[in-house]
Amino acid sequence: MPLNIRTYHDLTEADRSGLLGQVGAQRRRVADRMAPIGRVVAVMSGKGGVGKSFVTANLARAWGRAGRSVGLLDADLNGPTSARLLEAPKGPLVVSGDAVQPAVAADGVRLFSMAQILEEGRPLAFRGEQAEGFIWRGAQEAAALREFLADVAWGPLDFLLIDLPPGLSRFSELVDLLPAPPAVLTVTIPTPESGDAVRRALRAAVERGAPLLGIVENMTGGPYQGDAGDSLAREFGTPVLARIPFNPPATLWADLAAQL
Amino acid sequence: MKFLCVECDRQMTFEERQLPGDGTLAVAFVCPSCGRKVAMLTNPMETQLVSSLGVVVGGRTVPEQPLEAVRGTVATGRSDAFHEDEARAAAKPAWPTWSAEAQERLGKVPGFVRGMVKRIYSEYARDHGIAEITVAVMDTARTELGLEGM
């Protein structure tokens, strides 16, 4: 005769671990840190090598030059490049109170990137049991993203740009962590292959309720042929905000920043 | 995760947590009715998974530190990546002193995470009225606070 065992949800006595409470506290820390930020903008493409970080860094600098307060969170934990693109100062990050101070980089952009933490030239690796690491590595990277949001003293900002890595998993984690879905700026190159990958990213953004700001078509006028920008814009009803040639004029970034 | 004493039909309560230092975790639970105890033992992979969630089985006794998960788990961090703000520390009551043996053990902690570990042990000692941090204090704090690998 089977035992008559109550289910998990039947057990409602006080639980000293309070794991759900701990997770709730983590979420509140993110929400509190995001509260004084005017707009969180995720820059994504779903495709590698299209220039997301280049566009993100230059957009951040354009906002900075225009007198806007802007932060940039480099969410590419395994291939961070924003620190170099923003000429971030080298040196230790200051831990003060309940937060770590972001670096103040070119044009006053506040930056936090894994590149500021890792040893030069070393990949991101975690301590502990390496066997079956694929099971927990994703959770540790998500925890790092949560801490970059919650534990960095971003302060009041007009914009917080989040430079996402290729693929869609980090975007999903971001939506899960933030109190509201971020606005999405999408970067593509003109080719149909890029268009295919970016279409999936845009679809994911729409399905998660993220507002679309528009599309930036990068590397135009060169060897990459196609109309991915226009095609995606028609399909998703969102504008092409900029077409960026290989040697963009200095005014292009200010024009892009002014549209957002 | 919860534990039920089937005989008493009572939810078991957290009793004690132990971290042997080999990556495993032992957590004891007790039935509030009959006093029966059971221990949950996790292998290193399971311990890692729980730790990656940023939660502490048995509850937190010290506040979460800034970038605690990153500083506690990244193996390839720069030893000088972080600088603890001394002005903040000075604003609080005096820090406890460290015995030579405790300092030696602290010196073996990777530089990337050492500042945070020192702060956690110091705050633990101060909260418990301990004037000097010894190796024994570190062992006790490590178990009580659930500081896997620290």
Considering the domain B1-59, what is its CATH architecture?
Answer: Single Sheet (2.20)
**A127 in contact with chain B, both atoms CB, cutoff 8 A:** yes
Q: How close does chain B come to A75, measured CA to CA in Å? A: 13
Domain ranges of chain A: 39-258
**A130 in contact with chain B, both atoms CB, cutoff 8 A:** no
**A140 in contact with chain B, both atoms CB, cutoff 8 A:** yes
CATH number, span A39-258:
3.40.50.300
Per-residue confidence in pLDDT tens, chain A, 260 aa:
788 888 888 888 877 777 778 888 889 999 999 999 999 999 999 889 999 999 999 999 999 999 999 999 999 999 999 999 999 998 899 998 889 999 999 999 999 999 999 999 999 998 876 667 777 788 889 999 999 999 999 999 999 999 999 989 999 999 999 999 999 999 999 999 999 999 999 999 999 999 999 999 999 998 999 999 999 999 999 999 999 999 888 899 999 999 98
Q: How close does chain A come to B44, measured CA to CA in Å? A: 6
Q: How close does chain B come to A114, measured CA to CA in Å? A: 9
Q: How close does chain A come to B22, measured CA to CA in Å? A: 9
What pLDDT is recorded for position B93?
61
**B20 in contact with chain A, both atoms CB, cutoff 8 A:** no
Which residues of chain A are within 8 Å of residue B116 when distances are taken between CB atoms? 95
Within chain A, where are the H helices? Answer: 19-34, 52-65, 82-85, 133-150, 169-177, 192-207, 228-236, 251-258
Chain A (228-247) residues lying within 8 Å, Cβ to Cβ, of chain B: none
Q: Which of B1, B45, B83 sits opposite A131 (nearest CB)?
A: B45
Q: Do B73 and A128 touch (CB under 8 A)?
A: yes
Residues A252 and A117: their CA atoms lie apart, in Å, by 32
* Residue in B with minimal Cα distance to A26: B54
Long-range CB contacts for residues B138-146, cutoff 8 Å, separation at least 24: B138/B102, B138/B105, B138/B106, B142/B19, B143/B17, B143/B18, B143/B19, B144/B17, B144/B61, B145/B56, B145/B61, B145/B62, B145/B120, B146/B17, B146/B19, B146/B56, B146/B57, B146/B58
Residue for token digits 């702060």?
B119
Residue with more model confidence, A238 or B15: A238
Which whole number is the average pLDDT over B110-123?
84
Q: How close does chain B come to A138, measured CA to CA in Å? A: 9
Q: Which pLDDT band, with edges at 50, 70 and 90, does B1 fall under?
A: confident
Which whole number is the average pLDDT over B69-73?
88
Which residues of chain A are within 8 Å of residue B68 when distances are taken between CB atoms? 147, 151
Q: Do B58 and A123 touch (CB under 8 A)?
A: no
Q: Is the pLDDT of residue B88 over 70?
A: no
Q: Which CATH class is domain B62-145?
A: mainly alpha
Q: Do A3 and B2 touch (CB under 8 A)?
A: no
pLDDT tens readout for residues B35-62: 999 999 988 888 877 777 888 777 777 7
- Please tell me what DSSP assigns to residue A24: H
What pLDDT is recorded for position B109?
83
Q: Which two tokens stand for residue B33?
A: 């009715």
**B108 in contact with chain A, both atoms CB, cutoff 8 A:** no
What pLDDT is recorded for position A40?
98
Examine the predicted complex and report whether its ipTM is higher than 0.90. Answer: no
* Planar angle of CA A19, A25, A31, nearest 5 degrees: 145
The neighbouring-strand residues paired with A185 are: A43, A214
Domain ranges of chain B: 1-59, 62-145
Q: Packing angle between helix A192-207 and helix A169-177, nearest 10 degrees?
A: 20
What pLDDT is recorded for position A174?
96
Task: Work out the mean pLDDT of chain B and round it to a whole number.
Answer: 83
Tell which of A124, A129, A145 to mutate to test the B interface (max B CBs under 10 Å): A129
**B33 in Cβ contact with B5 (< 8 Å):** yes
Q: Is the pLDDT of residue B89 over 80?
A: no
Q: Which two tokens stand for residue B56?
A: 């502490």
What pLDDT is recorded for position A11?
86
Q: Is the pLDDT of residue B91 over 60?
A: no
